[in-house]
C-alpha cells in the first residue's frame, strides 16, 4: 500500500511527529502501489504539472502554493527536488536536483526543514492517477505555507473516537454527509447536512472537550486535504465519487482517531463550495469549524440533541452500525488488556525521549486507558539512536517516553526484542531496574 502521511507538531519543542497514514491525502494515491519509471525527466514533467495545478488553484487561497518539493525513494533514500537546497547536498541532473537523504531523517509525506529549506516531502512512487497526484502534492505543499496563512500544525489524538459511541456517531455523521454529497436537490442536501451536524454536535456533547480536539486536526489536516481536493482538477461527478470512495475506504480502517479530518472537511467543504467557492477564505486558525458550518448552511439545531439524534439513527443505517461497533468494542477491551500486560505490567523496556523525531502508522493506534497510546509501527530517531517497531509500542500520554516489549538479543549496539530493533549510539547503554525488572536506556558518564 502506498503510504500517505500527515504532519503534526506537539506543543513541546523537543520533537516533531511525522505521521504515516496509509489512507489519506487522496484515496487514489493511497490504496495501492503504482509502478513508475523513476527517471529524472519524468520528475521534471511532474514538477511542471504541479506548478500548473497550483497556478490554476490560485483563487482558493489567493496565493500560489507552489514551492520546494522533495521526492524520496523509500527503497534507497535517494531524493529528487525541483529546487536546489541551501546546504549544497543536491546536484542537478537533467533539470532535476538529486541527492541522498540521511538515515536519521524519517521518510514521510509531510513538510520538513532539510538542507536549509522547508520542503513538501513526498514518498515515491507517485500515483498514476493525475487527480490523486495533484491532491497529494498540494496537500503537502499547503503544510509548508499554512503557518503564514494562519493555521497551526498542532493537534492531538481524538481518543474518544476509539470509544464505541464516538465511532457510532462519527459514522452516522459521515453517512448523512454521503447522502448530502450524492443528492442534487438543495432541500434534501440541507436536510442531510442538518442531520450530520446533529450527530456531530451530540457526539461532542457525549464527550466534553472533544469538539476542540477534533477541531485542531480538522484545521490542520482537514483544511490541507480540502485544499488538495479543491485543486485536484476533478469535475463535479469525479469529485462526488472521490468523496464517496474515500468515505467507504475510511470506514474500514480499524481506528479513526488520527484520520477522520481527511474525510469530514473535504465533504463539508465540497458542500459549502456549491454555494460559495471562497468559503475557506472566511476561516482562520481560530475558527470553530462545527459552528462555522452550522452558520454557513443556515442550520437551526434542535434544543435536545439526544432526542433529535435518536429519531434519525435508523435513516442512516444506524442499527447495523451500532451492532458492528458493539462487537468491535468487546474485542478492543481484550486487546487493551493484552497491551497493558505487555507494556506496563510485565517487565519491559523504557526509552525516554530527548530530541525525538517519529513517524508512525496510525491506522491501528489504540488508547490504553490513561496509560498512553499503542502505535503498531514506529520509526524514531533521537540522540540515542534509531528505533524501528513493527509489532507495537506504547507512547506515554505526555510524549515523554516509549515502552517496548521485553529485551531479546543484543549484538554490539544493535538491540532487538519481539517486533522491534534499536540501533544504539555508542554513548548510551541499557540498565536493569532490579526492583521491577524493567530495562531503561541511560547515557554513559565518562
pLDDT at 32 over 50: no
pLDDT in tens, 213-271: 999 999 999 999 999 999 999 999 999 999 999 999 999 998 999 899 999 999 999 99
For residue 39, the model assigns a pLDDT of: 64
Q: Identify the bridge partners of residue 4 per DSSP, sorted by sequence position.
A: 21
Contact assessment for residue 196 and residue 180, using Cβ atoms and an 8 Å cutoff: yes
- Name the CA dihedral angle for 361, 366, 372, 375, rounded to a multiple of 10 degrees: -20
Express the helix, strand and coil content of the chain in percent, nearest 5 each.
45, 20, 35
Contact assessment for residue 71 and residue 43, using Cβ atoms and an 8 Å cutoff: yes
Q: What is the DSSP annotation of 289-335?
A: HHHHHHHHTT----S-HHHHHHHHGGGGTHHHHHHHHHHHHHHHHHH
pLDDT in tens, 374-391: 999 999 999 999 999 999
For residue 156, the model assigns a pLDDT of: 81
> What is the Cα–Cα distance from 68 to 81, expressed in whole angstroms?
7
Contact assessment for residue 156 and residue 211, using Cβ atoms and an 8 Å cutoff: no
> What is the Cα–Cα distance from 142 to 153, expressed in whole angstroms?
11
pLDDT in tens, 259-305: 999 999 999 999 999 999 999 999 999 999 999 999 999 999 999 99
Contact assessment for residue 141 and residue 69, using Cβ atoms and an 8 Å cutoff: yes
CB atoms within 10 A of CB 280: 19
> What is the Cα–Cα distance from 333 to 330, expressed in whole angstroms?
5
For residue 152, the model assigns a pLDDT of: 87
Q: How far apart are the first and last CA of the chain?
A: 46
> What is the Cα–Cα distance from 144 to 50, expressed in whole angstroms?
15
For residue 182, the model assigns a pLDDT of: 98
Burial call 131-165: b when 16+ CB within 10 Å, e when fewer: bbbbbbbbbbbbbbbbeebebebebebbbbbbbeb
For residue 9, the model assigns a pLDDT of: 34
**Averaged pLDDT, 43-53:** 96
pLDDT band at 369 (very low <50, low <70, confident <90, very high): confident
C-alpha cell at 272: 459549502
Q: Which residue has the higher pLDDT, 171 or 95?
A: 171
Burial call 374-397: b when 16+ CB within 10 Å, e when fewer: bbbbbbbbbebbbbebeebbbbee
For residue 433, the model assigns a pLDDT of: 86
pLDDT above 90: percentage of residues in the chain = 80
| Phi, psi at 284, each rounded to 5° | -140, 180
Query: Mean pLDDT for the chain?
Result: 90
pLDDT band at 395 (very low <50, low <70, confident <90, very high): very high
> What is the Cα–Cα distance from 394 to 375, expressed in whole angstroms?
6
For residue 35, the model assigns a pLDDT of: 41
Least confident of 81-90, 325-334, 360-369: 360-369
**Averaged pLDDT, 208-212:** 97
Domain ranges of the chain: 4-149, 159-326, 340-443
> What is the Cα–Cα distance from 83 to 95, expressed in whole angstroms?
9
Contact assessment for residue 123 and residue 135, using Cβ atoms and an 8 Å cutoff: no
For residue 3, the model assigns a pLDDT of: 37
pLDDT in tens, 313-342: 999 999 999 999 999 999 999 999 999 999
CA distances from residue 170 to 127, 191, 256 in whole angstroms, order as listed: 29, 17, 9
Amino acid at each position: 500500500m502506498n503510504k500517505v502521511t500527515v504532519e503534526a507538531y506537539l506543543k513541546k519543542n523537543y520533537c516533531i511527529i511525522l505521521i504515516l497514514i496509509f489512507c489519506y491525502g487522496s484515496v487514489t494515491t493511497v490504496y495501492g502501489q503504482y509502478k513508475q519509471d523513476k527517471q529524472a525527466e519524468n520528475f521534471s514533467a511532474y514538477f511542471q504539472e504541479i506548478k500548473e495545478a497550483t497556478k490554476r488553484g490560485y483563487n482558493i487561497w489567493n496565493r500560489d502554493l507552489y514551492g520546494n518539493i522533495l521526492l524520496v525513494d523509500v527503497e534507497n533514500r535517494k531524493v529528487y527536488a525541483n529546487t536546489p537546497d541551501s546546504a549544497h547536498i543536491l546536484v542537478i541532473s537533467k533539470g532535476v536536483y538529486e541527492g541522498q537523504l540521511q538515515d536519521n531523517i524519517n521518510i514521510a509525506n509531510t513538510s520538513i526543514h532539510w538542507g536549509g529549506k522547508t520542503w513538501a516531502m513526498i514518498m515515491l512512487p507517485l500515483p498514476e492517477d493525475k487527480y490523486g497526484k495533484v491532491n497529494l502534492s498540494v496537500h503537502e505543499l499547503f503544510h509548508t505555507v499554512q503557518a503564514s496563512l494562519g493555521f497551526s500544525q498542532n493537534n492531538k489524538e481524538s481518543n474518544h473516537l476509539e470509544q464505541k459511541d464516538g465511532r457510532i456517531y462519527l459514522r452516522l455523521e459521515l453517512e448523512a454527509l454521503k447522502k448530502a454529497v450524492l443528492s442534487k436537490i438543495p432541500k434534501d442536501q440541507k436536510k442531510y447536512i442538518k442531520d450530520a451536524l446533529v450527530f456531530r454536535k451530540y457526539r461532542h456533547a457525549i464527550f466534553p472537550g472533544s469538539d476542540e480536539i477534533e477541531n485542531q486536526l480538522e484545521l490542520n489536516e482537514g483544511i490541507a486535504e480540502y485544499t488538495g481536493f479543491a485543486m485536484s482538477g476533478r469535475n463535479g461527478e469525479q469529485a462526488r465519487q472521490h468523496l464517496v470512495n474515500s468515505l467507504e475506504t475510511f470506514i474500514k480502517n480499524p481506528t479513526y482517531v488520527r484520520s477522520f479530518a481527511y474525510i469530514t472537511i473535504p465533504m463539508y467543504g465540497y458542500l459549502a463550495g456549491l454555494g460559495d467557492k471562497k468559503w475557506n477564505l472566511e476561516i482562520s486558525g481560530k475558527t470553530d469549524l462545527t459552528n462555522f458550518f452550522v452558520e454557513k448552511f443556515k442550520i437551526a439545531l434542535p434544543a435536545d440533541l439526544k432526542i433529535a439524534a435518536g429519531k434519525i439513527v435508523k435513516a442512516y443505517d444506524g442499527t447495523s452500525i451500532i451492532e458492528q461497533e458493539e462487537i468491535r468494542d468487546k474485542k478492543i477491551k481484550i486487546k487493551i488488556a493484552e497491551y497493558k500486560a505487555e507494556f506496563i505490567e510485565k517487565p519491559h523496556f523504557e526509552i525516554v525521549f530527548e530530541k525525538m523525531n517519529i513517524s508512525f502508522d496510525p491506522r491501528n493506534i489504540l488508547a490504553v486507558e490513561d496509560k498512553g497510546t499503542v502505535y503498531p509501527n514506529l520509526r524514531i530517531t533521537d540522540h540515542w539512536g534509531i528505533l524501528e517497531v513493527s509489532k507495537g509500542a506504547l507512547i506515554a500520554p505526555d510524549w515523554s517516553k516509549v515502552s517496548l516489549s521485553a529485551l531479546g538479543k543484543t549484538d554490539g549496539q544493535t538491540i532487538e526484542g519481539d517486533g522491534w530493533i534499536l540501533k544504539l549510539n555508542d554513548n548510551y547503554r541499557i540498565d536493569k531496574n532490579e526492583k521491577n525488572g524493567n530495562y531503561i536506556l541511560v547515557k554513559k558518564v565518562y
